[in-house]
Structure 1
Amino acid sequence: MSNTLVPPVGPAADVSSSIRASERLRSAMQAAGMLPVLVLLALAFHFFGGHRFLTGQNLSIVAQQASINVVLSAGMTFVILTGGIDLSVGSTLAFSAMGGLMVSLLPGFGWLAIPTCLVIGLAVGLFNGGLISGLKIPPFIVTLGTLTAVRGLARLMGADRTIFNPSLSYAWIGNDGIPLSSTLVIPWLAVIALAVVVASWFILRRTVLGVHIYAVGGNQAAARLAGIRVGAVLMFVYALSGLLAGLGGVMSSARLYAANGLQLGQSYELDAIAAVILGGTSFVGGIGSIWGTLVGGLMIAVLSNGLILLGVSDIWQFIIKGLVIIIAVALDRFRQPAART
């Protein structure tokens, strides 16, 4: 008797073919993520916005606008991959920018401005991580508290006024770039953001620490049983999120020559979370990529810039961006088979 397997025919073959086609489509969507949507958005804004979007000057503006959010979103990706959340990044950015600006005004100590921003951000991140990993307080509660408290410290530091330094030594970071042509310039802000993304990719995909981060997000109890130091992993991701928020403070103050504890960084945490979710990272942790986050951050910048070119009012910009995020999460349900079971 022959053991050769006979392929199914008739209705069974049609069902099998349909299942394979569905799986191939889902695999393709997982690989592409939101990149096709980003491309379609850019093309739509270009053709409906008077062919002004895909110009060298405007693309440089979009890159500059996206950079700070991409940096914050990179830190947020690490946090959300562990199943956590960091609502304090906007306030931390403002606090660190205020600290950096004030130090930059001290005669002979201007060179300490950037380290001050980074240290302040790192300190807030370590504080969050210590409470979450050491005292087991839920991340939402901890970072919601620091969102408010750190914002208050930023306002207190500047006595509720704007700190301005027209001679800021590192202002070139926020206002200069690498010229590629007479109209296209790659802002240094974008270079920094891309460097952060590449470093984040290396940590997540090429180190043992990255494996542990995914494991903690997938199942914290199982990760602990496997010998992973869950507390140390959580400390790292929140410290990194704070450090990158401090870097965001450097970038923001460099761009504006100024900082304000009340307004700077308002709602930045929401844009960062949106970029991460748009990029396909699962809100419950364990699934996601930093390249997806980069695409998500660019989508938010493209939306904001394109809607302005179309003359859409601020009110409708909020509504449209909110609807796009909801649609993206709905698409994520299809891209992630685990979410459908």
Structure 2
Amino acid sequence: MSFADRADERLVQDTSPKALLGNLSRRLRSGDLGMIPVIVGLVVIWIVFYAMNPRFLSSRNLVELSLDSATIGMISVGIVLVLLLGEIDLSVGSVSGLSGSILAVLLVYQGWPLLGSILAALCAGLLIGVFYGVLYTRFGVPSFVITLAGLLAFLGAQLQVLGSNGTVNLPGDSALIDFANFTFLPPWLSYVLAGVVGLAYLLARVRTIRRRSAANLSTPGLQSVVVKAVLITAAVAGVAWYLNIDRGIGAMPLLWVGVIIGMDFLLRRTTWGRHVFSVGGNEEASRRAGIGVDRVYISVFALCSMFAAFGGVLAAGRLQAVSQTSGGTDTNLMAIAAAVIGGTSLFGGRGSVYSALFGMLVLQSITSGLNLVGVDAYVRYMVTGAVLLLAVTIDSLSRQARKSSGSG
């Protein structure tokens, strides 16, 4: 049978190992780097710090690393979304601090139930994002200016919400504290999760095979799909086994990864997601194609601020308190740097939500590794800045390579 996408002999693909390596080489030369730089960088960082201190790759340290990554990593998910549009949000740290303060004050001083306090904090973030989106779409104010003003304004609002006390300690028996610090999957459930992940991949690929076959398009072999599903299951089970040597897979990191998977599905498999990539790639062409560009901008700014609020809520649970410094220090730096280091382009239209995962792991690995070898804090900032500069340079060079090759 002749498949529609292989009717032209120029589309026939050679699947030999030599051909696959050649295709990979051509992709790299054309600037289509994908997640390769950040994954290579993460492996190098782990090898270097393990050589300097073997405790770096201990199960205990990796569990702590995953817990510490989830709070700012959740904020970085929203940053990825705005970067896909070629915009920026400089206020995510202040929004996260304000949202955490709203949660703490409602829960401790106003006697609200935990769920109601969390929803109020998330709604505050959502409304802030909608406000940003309206300012951007209706009045044309640059996102840099809007969010820079928001950084200052919501920092002041945070101080006002906290009042003269400055610090609010969450109740010691709070379910949020337990969730953020002490809730881990039982070992048996973590292995069941590994099986579910592999099965989900298999079912998704089988569905794709059926749809492509019905459209008379070429399909990957079922055997290769099964092999990949088995390998994915084994990899997740291996990670679970190693983390279970200490405490296991934390509920908060698992929630973070689940949000990333869900957002990746929305971006890749829904009309809204395709519109986000389209607007980020070429706003005017998207407008002429009938896409509601303003709605896309408003929805993305709203989600970004809501994820910032979500990160603030998780940080409150992780630290068991909210203070005037919550959301400050390097929260903005880490959230934005994670998205960029993870591979999301600053120029819009290219990237993946998984950038928040891998980029945050890189930054948190640097922090954890430098702490283990006993260097001063200023070195961490210098190293983080150097890694961020390197990531932006790679992004710029790959963009130039894509232009010269005519691929983007």
SS in structure 1 opposite 2:344?
coil
Matches within 5 A, 1:170-319: 170-176=176-182, 177-180=184-187, 181-319=244-382
CA contact (8 A) 1:220 1:230 kept: yes
SS in structure 2 opposite 1:166?
coil
Given the alignment, which residue of 41, 52, 56 partners 1:48? 52
> Aligned-pair distance for 1:32?
2.2
Instruction: Tell me the alpha carbon deviations over residues 19-69 of structure 1, each in whole angstroms, 9 at most, x when there is no partner.
Output: 9885254478435241011011112111211x1011111001111111112
Match of 1:162 in 2: 167
The range that moved more, 146-155 or 125-134, is 125-134
Taking structure 2 as the reference length, the TM-score comes to 0.75
In structure 2, give the amino acid aligned to 1:143.
T
The range that moved more, 262-271 or 187-196, is 262-271
In structure 2, give the amino acid aligned to 1:294.
L
SS in structure 1 opposite 2:350?
coil
Q: Distance in 2 between matches of 1:71 and 1:21?
A: 32
CA contact (8 A) 2:101 2:158 kept: yes
Match of 2:150 in 1: 146
Q: Distance in 2 between matches of 1:318 and 1:339?
A: 33
In structure 2, give the amino acid aligned to 1:43.
I
Instruction: Tell me the alpha carbon deviations over residues 206-256 of structure 1, each in whole angstroms, 9 at most, x when there is no partner.
Output: 111111101111111111111111110000000001111111121011112
How many aligned positions are there?
322
The range that moved more, 328-337 or 123-132, is 328-337
Q: Distance in 2 between matches of 1:125 and 1:223?
A: 22
CA contact (8 A) 1:154 1:262 kept: no
Match of 2:84 in 1: 81
Q: Distance in 1 between matches of 2:127 and 2:33?
A: 39
Q: Given the alignment of the two structures, is residue 127 of structure 1 paired with residue 131 of structure 2, yes or no?
A: yes
Match of 1:101 in 2: 104
SS in structure 2 opposite 1:284?
coil
In structure 2, give the amino acid aligned to 1:55.
S
SS in structure 2 opposite 1:84?
coil
In structure 1, give the amino acid aligned to 2:170.
N
CA contact (8 A) 1:278 1:325 kept: yes
Taking structure 1 as the reference length, the TM-score comes to 0.89
Where does the alignment leave 5 or more consecutive residues of structure 2 unmatched? Answer: 1-21, 188-243
CA contact (8 A) 2:80 2:355 kept: no
CA contact (8 A) 1:300 1:321 kept: yes
Q: Distance in 1 between matches of 2:364 and 2:24?
A: 34
Identity of aligned residues (%): 32
Match of 1:338 in 2: 402
> Aligned-pair distance for 1:335?
3.5
In structure 2, give the amino acid aligned to 1:52.
R
Match of 1:137 in 2: 141
SS in structure 1 opposite 2:56?
coil
> Aligned-pair distance for 1:77?
0.7
CA contact (8 A) 1:70 1:293 kept: yes
SS in structure 1 opposite 2:34?
helix
> Aligned-pair distance for 1:192?
1.5
Instruction: Tell me the alpha carbon deviations over residues 142-201 of structure 1, each in whole angstroms, 9 at most, x when there is no partner.
Output: 000011101100001111511112333321221122254241422222012101101110
